[in-house]
């Protein structure tokens, strides 16, 4: 695969032991860079980075981004933050601090080093949208005091900080709004719909749909997402984002549940539960900006990506059964 960088860099990835972070590290090492992975292992796991530990260009540091960090690097990817409702609502104050204090700390580091810095933002900044699909110009419909606001408003504030550092200090920033992403290395108990449905289907347990299943989501395979992150980071200073990165193919939650049952050969039934407060009814990215500025669009369809993800969770089942 062609390299997107002209020379070898030392790159910091915060949240690097997480689902997306570990796949990003895969690609950065493949491209010949040195990678410093920072993670406090709150939701990240050593399993995701075990394969890197004997790699001569990989280094791991256990650290919480809510505290300042003093390292020497050429670029920074800030991915540190719990991303599933189960995890980010477990300690909502810490979730907000991770987004806000974490952004302040990585921006301060980038300012001192004079280096490019990337922020992993989220489609959750759009809240429960009244515009569909969601373009980057849409300001969102977010409840600032609801149970999801620790994540939604934390990420919105992080975007504010990134653009203020850019305007005030001339810092070169890149901001991506990441839509629902799935694939191997997802946490099996993270509460997100893809991992939930696959794990329930593999165990022949009832598949829980919250609401009537008519709400929609758009699912992007992790390799496609990482390709978008790399392309955004490789752009010149004139492109800051925010840029939507996600798959515009839209599915209802019920359709996803039925596909999980079909592809696993499960005997699971579907059961319906009360829809959580502030849960978005629709989520679909407008990726016209990514197509135009990054020449990027997803290549992996849902059925193919789900197949690879199901294979990953199948391989985990014996280990998970032993730990129950």
Catalytic residue numbers, as ranges? 151
CA quadruple 311, 312, 318, 321: dihedral, nearest 10: -110
140 half-sphere exposure, CB direction, 13 A CA radius: 18
Q: Select from 215, 182, 210 the least CA-distant residue to 275.
A: 210
Name, in order, each residue with C-beta under 8 angstroms of 41's C-beta and a sequence gap of 6 or more: 17, 62
195-228 in b/e form (b: 16+ CB < 10 A) is: bbbbbbbbeeeebebeeebebbbbbbbbbbbbbb
d(CA 76, CA 22): 14
CA quadruple 290, 194, 249, 132: dihedral, nearest 10: -80
Q: Are strands 173-178 and 243-245 parallel, antiparallel or unpaired?
A: parallel
Other beta carbons within 10 angstroms of residue 164's beta carbon come to 13
Start-end of H helices in the chain: 19-30, 85-88, 92-113, 149-169, 193-202, 222-233, 253-264, 288-294, 302-323
d(CA 285, CA 177): 9
Secondary structure of 237-264 in the HEC alphabet? Answer: CCCCCCEEECCCCEEEHHHHHHHHHHHH
Residues in the chain: 324
d(CA 14, CA 38): 5
Q: Select from 173, 201, 151 the least CA-distant residue to 43.
A: 151
């Amino acid at each position: 695969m062609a390299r997107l960088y002209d020379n070898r860099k030392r790159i910091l990835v915060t949240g690097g032991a997480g689902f997306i972070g570990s796949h990003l590290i895969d690609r950065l090492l493949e491209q010949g860079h040195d990678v410093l992975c920072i993670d406090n292992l709150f939701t990240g796991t050593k399993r995701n980075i075990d394969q890197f530990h004997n790699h001569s260009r990989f280094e791991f540091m256990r650290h919480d981004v809510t505290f300042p960090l003093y390292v020497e690097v050429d670029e920074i990817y800030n991915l540190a933050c719990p991303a599933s409702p189960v995890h980010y609502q477990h300690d909502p104050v810490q979730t907000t601090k991770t987004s806000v204090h974490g952004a302040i700390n990585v921006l301060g580091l980038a300012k001192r080093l004079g280096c490019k810095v990337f922020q992993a933002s989220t489609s959750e900044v759009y809240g429960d949208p009244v515009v569909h699909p969601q373009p980057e110009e849409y300001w969102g419909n977010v409840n600032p005091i609801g149970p999801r606001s620790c994540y939604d408003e934390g990420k919105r504030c992080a975007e504010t900080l990134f653009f203020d550092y850019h305007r005030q200090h001339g810092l070169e920033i890149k901001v991506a709004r990441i839509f629902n992403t799935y694939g191997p290395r997802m946490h099996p108990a993270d509460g997100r719909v893809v991992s939930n449905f696959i794990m329930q289907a593999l165990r022949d347990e009832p598949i829980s749909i919250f609401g009537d299943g008519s709400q929609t989501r758009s699912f992007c395979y992790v390799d496609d997402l990482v390709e978008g992150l790399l392309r955004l980071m490789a752009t010149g200073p004139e492109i800051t984002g925010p840029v939507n990165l996600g798959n515009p193919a839209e599915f209802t939650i019920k359709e996803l549940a039925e596909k999980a049952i079909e592809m696993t050969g499960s005997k699971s039934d579907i059961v319906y539960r009360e829809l959580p407060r502030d849960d978005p009814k629709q989520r679909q990215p407008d990726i016209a900006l990514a197509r135009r500025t990054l020449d990027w669009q997803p290549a992996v369809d849902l059925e193919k990506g789900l197949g690879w993800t199901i294979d990953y969770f199948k391989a985990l089942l014996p280990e998970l059964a032993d730990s129950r």
